[in-house]
Amino acid sequence: MHGKIHIGDHVMFGPGVHIHGGNHKFSVVGKWMKELTKQEGEDGLVVIQDDVWIGANAIILKNVTIGEGSIIGAGAVVTHDVPPYSIYTGVPLAKLRERFSADTILQHKEILKKRGVLD
């Protein structure tokens, strides 16, 4: 089994983005790495929720969720979950700031509902 990747709606990707839901086994003594196979469930899951923007050349590794409305800066390496409506960048990945305040998120979603583009 290979890693799984779930991509939500209205997601934007810059050029050169890499998403890796899996990895290689490398810790078995007496076998070449290329000989090793994995059992079902050993690879990870990447979840990119709705309305996310992934900047150019970002790398997203296994077992992470990028929350709704978030932004990942160009060249970032995502190794852990990113909360909704936040902006992360860099290597190592670090929070730059919140995209919206809690009140603004509610207003944003209400406007999208009124426009008929959000359930």
- State the catalytic residues: 24
Q: What is the DSSP string of the chain?
A: ---EEEE-SS-EE-TT-EE---------TTS-GGG----TT-S-EEEE-SS-EE-TT-EE-SSEEE-TT-EE-TT-EE-S-B-TTEEEETTTTEEEEESS-HHHHHHHHHHHHHHTS--
